[in-house]
Structure 1
Amino acid sequence: MQEKKKKLGLLPRLIIAIVLGIVFGAYMPEVVVRSLATFNGIFGNFLGFVIPLIIVGFVAPGIGDLGNNAGKILFLTVVIAYVSTLISGTVAYTVDTAIFPRIIQEGSMLASATNPEEALLAPYFKIDMPPLMGVMSALLIAFILGIGMAVINSKSLNSVMHEFQSIIEKLISAVIIPLLPVHICGIFANMTHAGEVQTIMSVFLKVYVVIIALHIVIILFQYTVAGAVAKVNPFKAIKNMIPAYLTAIGTQSSAATIPVTLRQTLENKVSPRVAQFVIPLCATIHLSGSTITLTSCAIAVMMLHGMQFSFASMFPFIIMLGITMVAAPGVPGGAVMAALGVLESMLHFDPNMLTLMIALYLAQDSFGTACNITGDGAIALLVDKMTGSSSTSTSSTTTSSTTTTSEAYTH
């Protein structure tokens, strides 16, 4: 039998798309670049139409699911995960505003606007796709449905919303993600034609270095706090979580990494009862790494476009990120897809800026995911200590628990 050919991953496809976009913009005739710009206009409008559906499809079932559980462990886990997300975003903002002005020239992407010969090419035609509702309307509907399902314990509506979520996840994985490289190719072709690509490429690498450094800092902070409360060595606890971190880099999915995250959390002497509850829950509600990345990328894109921002405008954005990314799907890029509505409504990003955000985020998605799931282990340590659960268990119990949960969460 012939072995199945391994599919090219999303990151390699994005890199190829960027390279092709630069080549097309530099060497292809204007008709090619403008044709790609036409596709970008149609795809961008479709993305705008889908954003409210993504918000309803992700947020409503995510909030509804939280209501299916009760008790001290649920409350502590949700509160700690959300506080961790807020701290991560706030730290990112503080560091970014101190470093980015030194490495990013503000308003550098507006330079082409003053030179008509190097302006971005307009599409041949446009197809309007007005969304069914505004972003804020979608958020309100999602909150009302999610909280309502939790309060009345509606199994039928919960089932409908989960099926709707599956449709949206399929739309992202089968339509949006496959077409995304073409969209990004078109964006980079147009930027190359307008003379903007040198600015973008020089900024990309610098921003990534800052983001990954912030991931490391927040992991050290999480385990320092958890270690102090649970009275464990934070560096030993981090060392035990390295296999989960590396697995997340490969899978780009918190959900797919759950079996390994759980196994390594149990190695940190967290009781099986707490670990088996906290780790799967945090895989959907704890997104510290993603928040760092989205906050940093948003600030970088705003600076490139000469947009003004402050902590007063960014902190509400960080607050909403922690809510809108709840239950982001297991497909690569789920977090940024869920955040598009907030970027559009609160930070006033246009379609080109949203696409740039997607490209920036997806290029390092695996590292953000790795930061997320590594932090889940720290939360489990905190919850285990604060609920007074037993932190000792026999080797056989740990092995059995890990095997059972691994089977349950393997996709």
Structure 2
Amino acid sequence: MKKNSILNSLPFRLLLALVIGIAVGLFLNKNDTGAVSVALLNIIVTVKYIVGQFIGFCIPLIIIGFIAPSITRLGSNASRILIVALIIAYVSSIGAAFFATASGFLILPHMSLAPEVEGLKELPQLVFQLSIPAIMPVMSALFFSVMVGLAAAWNRSELITGVLEEFQKVVLSIVTRFVIPVLPVLIGTTFATLAYEGSITKQLPVFLVIIIMVMIGHYIWLALLYLIAGAYAGANPLDILKHYGPAYMTAVGTMSSAATLSVALECAKKSEPTLRDDMVNFGIPLFANIHLCGSVMTETFFVMVVSKMLYGEFPSPAKMILFCLLLGVFAIGAPGVPGGTVMASLGLITGVLMFDETGTALMLTIFALQDSFGTACNVTGDGALTLILTGYAKKNKIEPQKLGNILE
């Protein structure tokens, strides 16, 4: 069963598609004169275009489906502790994003990331074009989600809230039944075209180095979070960290904050009295869905790498600041499932940074290849934020209470 679950996992399918795509692309690169090879290349280019159009069409739906219901849920249950939890989760996420941005501007210019344009083969024209325009622009979908979500929460509109909840279920079905199954097709065709052009052999090894750098960034950010939390709460953060090993390893295996929740709760409860029981019962499940500092850091660093590799330049500082601030919002609305962060923020990648389908495919691939470590960082960081909640409750003399009372 364990073997089958690995073979059926999204990262394995993406990795398999990547390998097959590179193999096919390299073969076509060396045998591009035959009629069969030309026809196959035409099909690959066309399929890549159509799948890219389909995913682009789904992006506004994903934004509305993920963001708006999340805002209504938070707004309808707003309380002092909940607001504090929301603020520290957002600050942690955008802090990780800005840390990755600063590190990228300091480190990446010294690496060989320039696109190799000399000697590349040209791709053939599309066999036919199937244009699938999105129902609205990305930024329109974002502002629509925010305004409708806030208005529904302020007016306590049960009808609109129910509709948004149902729409989120519909969007999740679209993602799981349509978008995710076609992702390997997009990945395979993208890497086949890159391999045919001749650039993949020089680009792929760099990603391995980047992944190691991002993992080091995770550990630095976790250390910073726990130091800040310990100083604020007046507690030893090692009393929490020493129990988080099982949660970290579970997250590496499941690549899902939601799937790791039970183990994370068990680890956090072992940290009593450093972590208050009511804050654990409230904070750990909440942060599992809204605190994605590791995933945000990873995505931010990778977009800078991909931008330099494919388009020859880094995004401007202004674009990166906007990207980081909005990515924190998208992270709060992202589902705690494998690849949830990058799926929820595809609109930012295409709308703010102007990535095309090739850039999007590269982001999805390299994000999936290390998603387990980003999730592990998310889960472990939840303990630090729960320590901050515990310190806040003590400083404000909030008596221990049951979960239901916390939300009142």
TM-score norm. by structure 2 comes to 0.90
Task: Give the direction of change, closer, same or farther, for the CA distance of 1:4–1:367 in structure 2 (3 Å limit).
Answer: closer
Give the distance between the partners of 1:392 and 1:378, measured in 2 at CA.
Answer: 20
Q: Is the 8 A contact 1:104 1:303 kept in 2?
A: no
Could you tell which deviates more after superposition, 254-263 or 41-50? 254-263
8 Å Cα contact 1:42-1:127 kept in structure 2: yes
**Structure 1 residues 262-411: aligned runs within 5 Å:** 262-269=265-272, 270-304=275-309, 305-388=311-394
Provide, for residues 363-387 of structure 1, a one-character-per-residue CA deviation record: whole Å limited to 9, x for no partner: 1111111111111110000011111
Aligned to 2:25: 25
Instruction: Identify the residue that residue 15 of structure 2 maps to in structure 1.
Output: 15
1:209 aligns with 2:212: yes
Q: CA deviation at 1:64?
A: 0.8
Task: Give yes or no for contact 1:33–1:186 (8 Å, CA) kept in 2.
Answer: no
Deviation at 1:242, TM superposition (A): 1.7
* 1:161 has 2:169 as partner: no
2:198 matches 1:190:
no
Aligned pairs, how many? 390
> Which of 53, 64, 76 is the matching residue for 1:56?
64
User: 1:257 maps to what in 2?
Assistant: 260
Deviation string, structure 1 residues 217-261 (Cα, Å, up to 9, x no partner): 101111111112223322342221121111111111111211111
1:146 Cα deviation after fit? 0.8
Q: Which runs of 5+ in 1 are unaligned?
A: 403-411
User: For residue 13 of structure 2, what is the amino acid of its counterpart?
Assistant: R
Which residue of 64, 85, 88 maps to 1:77? 85
Q: Structure 1 residues 228-237 or 328-337, which shifts more?
A: 228-237
Distance 1:204 1:280 in 2: 33
Deviation at 1:92, TM superposition (A): 0.7
User: How far apart are 1:33 and its partner, in Å?
Assistant: 2.8
Q: Which residue, out of 124, 127, 147, partners 1:124?
A: 127
1:229 maps onto 2:232 in alignment: yes
The equivalent residue for 2:99 is: 91
Provide the secondary structure at the position in 1 that maps to 2:76. Answer: coil
Tell me the secondary structure at the aligned position of residue 77 of structure 2.
Answer: coil
Partner AA of 1:359 in structure 2: T
Aligned-residue RMSD, C-alpha: 2.3
* Partners of 1:139 and 1:3 in 2: CA distance: 39
Distance 2:155 2:322 in 1: 29
What residue identity is the alignment partner of 1:157?
Answer: I
Alpha-carbon contact 1:57-1:164 (below 8 Å) kept: yes
Residue 35 of structure 1 corresponds to 43
| AA partner of residue 277 (structure 2) | P
| Mapped contact 1:173–1:331 kept (Cα < 8 A) | no
Q: Give, in angstroms, the shift of residue 391 of structure 1.
A: 11
Q: Which amino acid aligns with 1:86?
A: I
2:185 aligned partner, one-letter code: V
